[in-house]
Amino acid sequence: MNNQRINSSSEMDGNIDKLNPFASDLKEFFESCKTLPLFKKLPLRDELEVRKQRLSGGRYLFRPCGIGLHPNESNKIALELLELLKKHLCDRKDELSAIADAMIQEKIIANDFLLQIIKNEGNQIRKVIRDNNLAEDIFTFFAIYFARPFRQFASEYLLEGLDKLNWFSGYCPVCGHWPGLGHINSEGGQRTLWCLSCNSKWNFKRTQCAFCLNEDHQTLQILNPENEESYRIQICKKCKRYLKEVRSIIEVKNFPFDKYYLGTLPLDVIAEQKGYFQESMLTVRYENSEGNELLMYRQKVEFD
Amino acid sequence: MKISRRGFLGAAGASTLGGAITLIGLPKTAKAASVPEIKTVETTESTTICPYCGVGCGLIVSTREGKVINIEGDPDHPINEGSLCSKGMALFQVAVNERRLQKVKYRAPGSSEWEEKSWDWTLSEIAKRVKKTRDATFLKKEDDKIVNRTNGIACMGGASLDNEECYLLSKFARSVGITYLEHQARI
Amino acid sequence: MASLAATFGRGAMTNHWIDMINTDVAMVMGSNMVENHPIASKWLMRAKERGAVIINVDPRYTRTSSFADIYCKLRSGTDIAFVNGIINYALQNGLINKDYVLNYTNASFLISEKYSFHDGLFSGYDPGKRAYDKTNWAYDLDGTGNAKRDLTLQHPRCVYQLMKKHFERYDIDTVCKITGSPRAIYEKVCRTFTSTWAPNRVATWLYAMGTTQHTHGTQNIRTYAILQLLMGNVGLAGGGINAMRGESNVQGSTDMALLFHLLPGYLASPTKAEQSLEEYKTHFTPKTNDPKSANWWSNYPKYIVSLLKAWYGDKATSENDFCFNYIPKRSADYSHISLFETMYEGKLKGLFLFGQNPVVGGPNSNKERSALEKLDWMVAVDIFETDTSVFWKRPGVNPADIQTEVFLLPACSSVEKEGSVSNSGRWAQWRYKAVEPVGESASDLWIIDALHKSIKKEYATSGVFPEPIVNLNWNYGNGEEIYPHREPDVHMVAKEINGYFLEDKVVNDKQFKKGDQVPSFAFLQNDGSTCSGNWLYCNAYPGPEKENNNMARRIKEDAINGIGLYPQWAWAWPVNRRIIYNRASCDITGKPFDPKRWVVRWNETTGKWEGDVPDGPWPPADKYPFIMKPDGHAWLFAANLNDGPLPEHYEPLESPVDNFMSSQQNNPAIKLWHKVNPEGNAIGDVKKFPIIGTTYRVSEHWQAGAMSRNIPWLAELVPDVFVELGTDLAKQKNIENGNRVVIETARGSMEAYALVTRRFEPFQLNGSVVHEVGIIWHFGYNGLARGDSANLLTSHIGDANTMIPEYKAFLCDVYKKNGGVA
């Protein structure tokens, strides 16, 4: 019993539903990737107790050094993904084709490029963009989703056996990227954070900045579009970062995070307009066991 | 790229998504400026502890423009983990309730009605009565032994006051010499 | 609480809410926790999922009973017989944790030859005074001033043997005759509960008002404590004696001593016998000659001096006894019943009420309401207009006849102010201000601050003995004048409660500067160099910044022993110890009795304890575990209680039967107010009032109703007062469900709707059949939901030690009103 307004007609709901075809194709694509051989050599995985200790110490689990991939598979996956994106992002078809061409002509070796993404080698990625004269934003987008099946596999592999994550840091416990979306359970109000890069989910305190860990409620706020109570961003006046959140009756395990991540772009606009930001999706937190300082490896972007 | 507000929120799905992709993946973008400002509301979420029973469940209070708009269980509180009983769930109606006392009320001897009064007047009048009663009933000694108390004034309450308030009340009451000091723990 | 203090040395829930998940057997007795502490029940539910057995003992089949594995009926007021029987069962069958009992309790201590017990009375009784000379129950001391002991537990005067003799009278048949419990179920309860004697099995005892609101309430709790000690369950995870308190901060308000007999931190308030600070220290500081007894209360002088410095600051010096004589000294019992009796006699002129509604919550409402009419003035501070604040226009009176001036001050709700509250588990949790107080309402903090300043102003130039008021140390950052929106700084108050250094000082090799917060009570001094408003809370705010406020912590990481301690969520007293008496959870080598649920354990390598904050850092076996008792042992035999060192069954003051155990019908140490002041205190005869009456609550309402009967949602859920009666009795009285009925006692009568259920069954007692009914007590004549108050029926009679009124058992009659129509 509370005064929470329940939206009978939500524009955002409508917006998100229109993404259903794209979302379902994307989901099918990820599912099909699961059946393929992704890793020739699996990422390093410690014993369960050691993994628990790593997490207690704020150290994320995924260490990409030493992994082995299947070059042909990687290439196939890249091209398939590009076709999917071309189908749904019609107005960016040409730019996507340019990327595909570059891969077919082996100006970009899909497998090498994939390793660069997984290892968070931002400088290299920027070089590829420049050398091939590609659209920076769509390429970044493609890169994240290209690496996704691999990182997602790694996440499931590394989290095996860990039911309750003793995790209190401002980044993903698997791959170290910052969370892309927060899910708030309609019943009980628990917040779960989701990583766009590897699909990991972890429980996180509501009244805390998911990035700098600020807990002062006077410097944290919730912004939501008028009449859209279920869609909101948590802003932190201390670090100026924001997190998109969706309050939903759909349980976490069934929640289509990708669909909502893409469909809530208006929230990113709001954040930008109010002066809040998120680092590039390619950003990862370097391992740093001392203090709360968040060392971000930022993507420097040149404006036109 | 020009996107109207209406168009943006109720956009035709993926086709505009492509353009909007611009906004993600970049720390700063000039393109955001092309979208007209979307009206938003700002809410503060603060934590509190339930004022009813002694379990001490956690709650999140949402306020907007200085008013409480929602109270829900605090999902991160280790005892209640977001759940609340019927009283906790009704706390909103304690915060927002037209029956809440908002002004000082005074009842004169023999009167059948309340009168509204100011704090200034009230505090001064109460102080006068406390002094009058205390002076008239103060006992410095009893059977030649120092007692320094007034048995003419009693103070009762309050199990729902904060610790800091209880402490000050305890301190205040003794300073006046009150020994008839009791509250709900006794009953 | 008095009972727990007598047994263990401090009165508080020994464990905490989440800890219930760790138990094997939960005994819910004297409580309907699924109804009144609903969220806490979730932890019991999780224990059940792990295989725990839940036992519920109640006169009525409640929501808790339907959730329990074993439900056993008992007649209201017969708890002592019930539990004494289980104690007897344990002793007769040797089902005790021998190690624990021998090493950690006073089972082996010898008692003076002057001790005896016969026909319901202990030795040393003075029937004229209705009081015992407790020196008759003292220890038999050896030459060094310590108690003589027999570690074989065979000596006829050792506590263990005295107990065996005392409890053997409580065999199963006798118990069932008194309590009306079904024999087979009672036996099952005995068997199940005593199975936790084993070191790897533990039981928790959960109780509330059903236990305390009796003339023998203190002894009720004593029985629980004795049994739990025999089982070795105190200090362990999933164990303990857990009082489930009913208000959000009644724990805090008790800690801060809003009671006549205490000062903050459970120090004694001075009596007429203490004319100097030295006398006070001598009277109340316990001594021991046993080097293995930590006797933590020996630090009493540090705590009282630090308190006096907090209250009188620079004015308190060693030359003037730190203003000790400014504190009013008591010469009598000033508790609730006594307060209203005095008021009734016209001797109390003024009354402050801070969020309390006694015309609904106090016993013998008729008398208490009349008493209020004798006041010159009343200051009521509340968030809603309470029934008490409008006593002058209540139904049946003419306001013109009542001269009392009433000031009703608007207080703000909990979300409109910042501060801390302490839950039953001793967790002090900080909470924040979400919005400004509505209208002209103000926080109690502001109101009390304003009252003090206003009164101080009155005493600036004249008045009787103004010193305690004008010299009071009172500066909370909002200036000398009173401004409606200038709040005292609650952080400054919290920091004073914690305490700080008043001069540069070196303590325990640490250098402190004047103004530094005291890190914990181990650093408090008795020379006036420290101040602390409440020594128990010293460590809650050990540093100067808001970040140092331990009560505001919200860190969700559990401790290494994984038993749900959450040591960095908020802060618990004392010094963040989450399970008290935890040294008793280990044997004398420091090894946990139950390694699967260890609370603390001794680490040989580091030379330190691990896990929860230990009850003292000393190595195992260096000190006894019950550090708050002078002899370091838990008291099975407690010689400092008014009604006896061991629990004995007596009937409630109003009872339908004679006491089967002895010719002492009632508790011999209770104050018989009906004999002292007969007016308004009539006691009922069983011929006229043959039915047992009791009171209880529902989940949807809360206490005296101000915060629930004014809430539309809750008022809608339970809009009327009802009396619950069993089908047998209803048939007898020709009452149907929904009929309008009258319930009457010797003191008053009330009307209610009849709720006829099968939850009350008649009691078969030693030859007679007795019925019981129950009334919910939340209602009053004011509010959205209105109705008669159940306390119109109850009486001014209280427990022999705590004076808590006997709300739970009285005699009444029930009959249809006007053919049952409203």
**What CATH number does the domain containing B88 carry?**
3.30.200.210
Q: Does A1 touch chain C (CB under 8 A)?
A: yes
**Residue A92 pLDDT:** 84
Q: C448 and C595 share a domain?
A: no
Retrieve residue C85's tokens.
């029987």
Nearest-CA distance from A182 to chain B in Å? 14
pTM higher than 0.90, yes or no? yes
CA angle, residues A263, A268, A269, in degrees to nearest 5: 105
HEC readout, C676-715 = HCCCCCCCCCCCCCCEEEEEECCCCCCCCCCCCCCCHHHH
Query: Does residue B113 share a domain with residue B162?
Result: yes
Residue of A nearest to B30 (CA): A303
Domain membership flag for residue C400: yes
CA separation for the pair C232, C240 (Å, rounded):
9
Looking at residue C793, what is its pLDDT?
97
- Chain A residue with CA closest to C558: the answer is A166
- Choosing from B95, B112, B129, the residue where a domain stops is B95
Is B68 in the same domain as B91? yes
Q: Are residues C813 and C742 in the same domain?
A: yes
Give how many domains chain B has, as a whole number: 2
Say how far residue C474 (Cα) sits from the centre of its chain: 30
Instruction: Report how far residue C59's alpha carbon sits from residue C214's, in angstroms, rounded to the nearest whole number.
Output: 14
CB atoms B27 and A88 under 8 Å: no
Q: Could you tell me how many residues make up chain A?
A: 304
Nearest by CB to C351, from B125, B135, B156: name it. B156
- A298–C contact, CB cutoff 8 A: no
Q: Which of B162, C345, C344, B51 is nearest to C358 (CA)?
A: C344
Region of A33 (left: φ > 0; alpha: ψ -120 to 50; beta: rest) is alpha
For C488-510, how does the pLDDT look when each residue is reduced to its tens digit (9 = 90+)?
999 999 999 999 999 999 999 99
Domain's final residue, options C454, C470, C486? C470
* Residues C734 and C601 both lie in one domain: no
Task: Mark the ranges of chain A whose per-residue pLDDT is less than 70.
Answer: 1-9, 280-304
Token pair for A185: 């359970």
Query: Which structural domain, as residue segments, surrounds residue C406?
Result: 336-470
Q: What's the token pair of residue C691?
A: 């039915």
Query: Does B55 fall in a domain?
Result: yes
- Beta carbons of B23 and A138 less than 8 Å apart: no
Q: Select from C759, C727, C752, C749 the least CA-distant residue to C738.
A: C752
In-domain check, residue B115: yes
Low-confidence stretches of chain C (pLDDT < 70) are: 1, 819-822
Does C536 map to a domain?
no
Residue C277 lies in a domain: no
State whether B116 and B154 are in the same domain: yes
Look up the ipTM and state it.
0.97
Q: Which two tokens stand for residue A207?
A: 């009244």
CB contact under 8 A, C554 and A166: no
Phi-psi region of B70 (alpha: psi -120 to 50; beta: other; left: phi over 0): beta
The separation between CA C457 and the C-alpha centre of its own chain, rounded to angstroms, equals 37
Question: Is B168 in the same domain as B114?
Answer: yes
- Residue at a domain's end among C470, C502, C521: C470
Nearest chain C residue to B169, by CA: C448
What is the token pair recorded at C709? Answer: 């009967």
Residue B116 and residue B87 in one domain: no
C-alpha Rg value of chain B to the nearest Å: 29
Q: Judge whether C465 lies within some domain.
A: yes
Cα separation, B80 vs B47, whole angstroms: 13
Chain C residues whose CB is inside 8 A of the A219 CB are none
Q: What is the pLDDT of residue B21?
A: 57
Pair B63, B126 in one domain: no
Residues in chain C with CB shorter than 8 Å from the CB of B179 are 260, 269, 328-330, 334
Closest CB to A215 among C554, C557, C713: C554
Instruction: State residue C308's pLDDT score.
Output: 98
Do the Cβ atoms of A221 and B43 come within 8 Å?
A: yes
Walk along chain B (187 residues) and give the pLDDT tens digit of each residue: 333 333 343 333 444 455 555 544 443 334 445 566 788 999 999 999 999 999 999 999 999 999 999 999 999 999 999 999 999 999 999 999 999 999 999 999 999 999 999 999 999 999 999 999 999 999 999 999 999 999 999 999 999 999 999 999 999 999 999 999 999 999 8
Q: Which residues of C touch B106 (CB under 8 A)?
A: 405-408
DSSP line for B153-181: EEEEE-TTS-HHHHHHHHHHHHHHTEEEE
Asked if residue B133 and residue B82 are part of one domain, the reply reads no
Chain B neighbors of A281, CB-CB under 8 A: 24-25
Q: What are phi and psi of B38, to 5 degrees?
A: -90, 135
Shared domain for C713 and C635, answered yes or no, is no
Phi and psi torsions of C412, nearest 5°: -95, 160
Same domain, C698 and C622: no
Give how far Cα C404 sits from Cα of B105, B112, B152, B156, C392, Å.
14, 11, 14, 17, 8
Integer angstrom CA distances of residue C77 from C588, C654, C661: 39, 10, 14
Q: Is C93 helix (H, G, I), strand (E, B) or coil?
A: coil
What is the structure's pLDDT at A66? 84
Q: CB within 8 A of A62, min separation 6: which ones?
A: A43, A151, A154, A155, A158, A174, A175, A176, A198
Same domain, B77 and B132: no
Phi then psi for residue A28, to 5 deg, are -60, -40
pLDDT digits (tens, 9 = 90+) for C708-753: 999 999 999 999 999 999 999 999 999 999 999 999 999 999 999 9
The answer to whether position B34 is within a domain reads no
Q: Do A224 and B43 touch (CB under 8 A)?
A: yes
Tell me if B129 and C556 make a contact (CB, 8 A cut-off): no
Residues comprising chain C, all counted: 822
Assess whether C724 and C608 both reside in one domain: no
CB contact under 8 A, B27 and A277: yes
* Domain co-membership, C631 together with C779: no
Considering the domain boundaries, does residue B143 fall inside one? yes
The answer to whether position B15 is within a domain reads: no
Q: Is residue B71 part of a domain?
A: yes
pLDDT at A103: 92
Region for residue C541 given its phi and psi (left: phi exceeds 0; alpha: psi -120 to 50; beta: otherwise): beta
Domain count, chain C: 3
Whether C641 and C695 share a structural domain: no
Give dist(CA C757, CA C177) in Å, integer.
24
Measured in degrees and rounded to the nearest 5, phi and psi for residue C597 equal -130, 50
Half-sphere exposure of A234 (CA within 13 A, CB side): 32
Q: Identify whether C563 is part of a domain.
A: no
Element (H, E) at A202: strand A201-203
Predicted pLDDT of residue C605: 95
Backbone angles phi, psi at A302, to 5 degrees: -95, 130
Instruction: Please indicate, yes or no, whether residues B83 and B117 belong to a single structural domain of this protein.
Output: no
Cα separations (Å) of C379 from A224, B105, B114, B129? 45, 10, 14, 10
Give alpha helix (H) positions in C33-182: 33-36, 41-49, 63-67, 79-92, 98-104, 159-167, 172-179
Distance from CA of A77 to the nearest CA of B (A): 21
| Cβ contact, residue pair B23, A205, below 8 Å | no
d(CA C144, CA C357): 53
Residue B78 domain flag: yes
Find out whether C255 and C422 touch, Cβ atoms under 8 Å. yes
- Phi, psi (deg, nearest 5) at residue C812: -150, 175
List the single best residue of A137, A232, A240 to mutate versus B (max B Cβ within 10 A).
Answer: A137
Interchain pair B152, C805: CB under 8 A = no
Residue B49, SS3 per DSSP: strand
Structure tokens at C228: 């739990």
* Contact between chains at C443 and B165 (C-beta distance less than 8 A): yes
- For residues B84 and B118, state if they share a domain: no
Tokens 């306390």 belong to residue: C791
Residues of chain C contacting residue A168, judged by C-beta atoms under 8 Å apart: 555-557
Does residue B108 sit in the same domain as residue B171? yes
> Both B132 and B164 in a single domain?
yes
Q: How far apart are CA C495 and CA C577, in angstroms?
A: 20
Is there a single domain that holds both residue C241 and residue C355? no
Chosen from C429, C432, C546 to mutate, greatest number of chain A CBs within 10 A: C432
Check residue A284 and give its pLDDT: 66
Chain C residues closer than 8 Å to B72 by CB: none
Measured CA to CA, the distance from residue C349 to residue B180 in angstroms comes to 12
Q: For the domain that residue C747 is a member of, what is the CATH number?
A: 2.40.40.20
Residue C126 lies in a domain: no
Q: How far is CA A207 from CA A215, A304, B75, in A?
A: 6, 38, 10
**Partner-chain residue, chosen from B15, B21, B71, that has the shortest CB–CB distance to A137:** B21
Last residue of a domain, one of C633, C649, C665: C649
Q: Verify that C393 and C441 share a domain, yes or no.
A: yes
- Give me C106's structure tokens: 């006073």
Give the closest residue to C318 by CA, choosing from C283, C273, C277, C270: C277
Q: Is C4 part of any domain?
A: yes
Helix, coil or strand: residue A288: coil
C712 plus C605 within the same structural domain: no
Residue at token pair 């030493």: A66
Considering Cα of C669, then C670, then C671, then C674, what sign does the dihedral take? Answer: negative
- For residue C539, being part of any structural domain is answered with no
How far are the Cα atoms of A44, C322, C586, C705, C752 from residue C721, in angstroms, in the given order? Answer: 67, 52, 50, 11, 6
**Among B160, B87, B155, B49, which residue's Cα sits nearest to residue C250?**
B160
C32 and C95 assigned to the same domain: yes
A22, A189, A301 ranked by CB distance to B72: nearest: A189
Domain that holds residue B72: 44-95
Q: How far apart are CA C533 and CA C257, in angstroms?
A: 11
The per-residue b/e assignment along C536-553, b for 16 or more CB within 10 angstroms, e otherwise, is bbbbbbbeeeeeebbbbb
Predicted pLDDT of residue C11: 73
CATH code (residue C29): 3.40.228.10
Q: Does residue B28 belong to any structural domain of this protein?
A: no
CB A257 within 8 A of CB B23: no
Chain C neighbors (3+ CB pairs < 8 Å): A, B
Separation in Å, CA of A65 to nearest CA in chain B: 25
Q: Which residues of A touch C716 (CB under 8 A)?
A: none
